[in-house]
Structures are given as structure tokens and as C-alpha cells.
Amino acid sequence: MARRRRIYEGKAKVMFEGPEPGTLVQYFKDDATAFNNQKKGTITGKGVLNNRISEFLMLRLAEIGIPTHFVRRLNMREQLVREVEIIPVEVVIRNIVAGSLAKRFALAEGTPLPRSIVEYYYKSDELGDPLVSEEHITAFGWATPQDIDDILALALRINDFLLGLFLGVGLKLVDFKLEFGRLYEESGEMRLVLADEISPDNCRLWDTKTNEKLDKDRFRRDLGGVEEAYQEVARRLGILLEGGPNDLKAPESIQ
């Protein structure tokens, strides 16, 4: 098979040129980083699980009318996606106090928020993803006021839906991060779509009964049982691996 052109390599994924114009192949790695790359490691099988978990969630969201970049899963570690222009803003939605919100305001982790909070961070590794306001986003031309309105409405719909979906499998959706992209149709029309991935790498998920953390905080905070946590999320969502747990140990080489 001909070598594919690598378009972009991030911390957890690689984007390759897709089979048709306007498509990309999104490859999920086992690499994990935290605190803006200061902590590095490998979570065995993470790429396989996140590929499946993100596929599952993107498909459920598409069913309720959320436009996404997802086309179809290609294999254990790859999915075909529509090529979009990523808006350089990380959209964080919070339902329960945790992580940087707990730190910034000296709040106890686990305190339910009276209403969901949406925050924007400028996507820049060099700057450490600083918190920004709508004013920064529009003044610096990262998105228009209309884009922000659309993104906020989508983010809240996604949050409502995912809160219920996860609650149904005994998980609290504490907070999560989304990315959106501009999709240019052949007609020249532009649509905002949900891009990137939704997985335990970018969600905080706690067991509803015990508050056990089942997400990347196990890696960030050296809590142990990292692989098992990702597997547990997949298991609860009813995502079964074709070849059983052994599937997780045989990463396909990146072409």
C-alpha cells in the first residue's frame, strides 16, 4: 500500500490524507500527555478504545442532528473524517467542579455547579492553552460572533445529550472538551461541525455511586488502573472489541 501523506501529528492522534479529496484519516495513538506535554506516557490500548468510544458518541450525536466530521471507522485505530478547518478554540463544558476550575477558584472538587459553565481556551501549545473570552475570539478573528453563538448552542445540546447518555451507564459527565471545525461544502457553503474526538482523554467521567474516576485523570494524577478505566468506559457503553482484550495489545504500525 502506498505511504500516505501525514498532514498533522498531535499529541494523541495523527491525521493522514484521506482516500478522497475533502477527507482525512484520523489515527489514534496510545501516547498520553498531560499538563501541556510536561508529563508523557503510554496507555496501552488507549488508541483502540478511544477510536471506538469516539465513533460511538459521534454516531449517537449525529442521530440527534449534531453535525460532526465523522464518516466511518476504518479499522482498530483509524477513522475516516471530513476535512475541516479547525477553529483554534477548545470549548470546555463543566457540570461539576473539577480540575482547573477547582484550582482557579479554590472550590472543592465534586461540587455540582448551579448551571453548566462553558469556557473557551485558545488552542496553542506554546502558550499553554490560555483561557479566553468571546472578546478575544472575535477580536483576534478566530471565530465570528455568529460562530460563537452556533458553537455555544451546539455545546449545550451536546452536553444535555451526553449527560443523559452517560448517566444511563452509571457515569457522571463532570466536564469535557470539544473542538469545532468549518466544513466547506461543494456549493461553497460553510457549516460548523463537531470535530476531533470525544473520549476519556477529554472528558472527566466519575462512577455515579463511588465517584471513582474513569478518565485521563488516572494518568494525570498517577492513580493507577489507567488502562482498566478506559476499558470500563467502553464496556459500560456496550462497545465490545472484535478480538477481546488481546486486540488492545497489537497496535497496527502507522503507515
Name the minimum Å distance from CB 187 to ligand TMP: 33
Name the minimum Å distance from CB 16 to ligand TMP: 22
Contacting residues for 96 by C-beta, under 8 A, at least 6 apart: 110, 111, 112, 113, 172, 174, 175, 204, 206
Q: Which residue is nearest to ligand TMP (CB)?
A: 99
Name the minimum Å distance from CB 97 to ligand TMP: 9
Contacting residues for 146 by C-beta, under 8 A, at least 6 apart: none
Name the minimum Å distance from CB 23 to ligand TMP: 24
Question: Would you say 18 or 158 has its CB closer to ligand TMP?
Answer: 158
**Which positions lie near ligand TMP, rule CB under 6 A?**
92, 98-101, 129, 175-177, 202-204
Question: Would you say 18 or 51 has its CB closer to ligand TMP?
Answer: 51
The per-residue DSSP string of 1-28 comes to -PPPPEEEE-SSEEEEE-SSTTEEEEEE
Question: Would you say 12 or 25 has its CB closer to ligand TMP?
Answer: 12
Name the minimum Å distance from CB 227 to ligand TMP: 18
Question: Would you say 190 or 223 has its CB closer to ligand TMP?
Answer: 223
> What is the H or E stretch that residue 86 is in?
strand 85-86
8-state DSSP, 215:
S
The per-residue DSSP string of 154-183 comes to HHHHHHHHHHHHHHTTTEEEEEEEEEEEEE
Question: Would you say 15 or 198 has its CB closer to ligand TMP?
Answer: 198
